[in-house]
């Protein structure tokens, strides 16, 4: 999974965990300088 600033300031994807098979939602937010902040939480 790859995220790029040119694809939008806020992006998310849901991936099944290979260990527990539960879905995880990853959210990536880019600031004006292109620096990324990543968060992950259990998807519902």
Q: What is the pLDDT of residues 13-32, one digit of tens each?
A: 999 999 999 999 999 999 99
- 34: DSSP letter: S
Would you state the pLDDT for residue 10?
96
Average pLDDT, the chain: 93
- Give me the residue spans of the domains in the chain: 5-42
Dist. CA 10–CA 25, nearest whole Å: 13
1 pLDDT tier (thresholds 50, 70, 90): confident
User: Would you state the pLDDT for residue 44?
Assistant: 83
* pLDDT band of 8, cuts 50, 70, 90: very high
pLDDT for residue 22: 95
């Amino acid at each position: 999974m790859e995220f790029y600033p040119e694809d939008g300031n806020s992006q998310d994807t849901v991936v099944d965990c290979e260990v527990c098979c539960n879905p995880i939602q990853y959210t990536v937010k880019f600031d004006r300088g292109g620096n990324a902040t990543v968060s992950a939480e259990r998807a519902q």
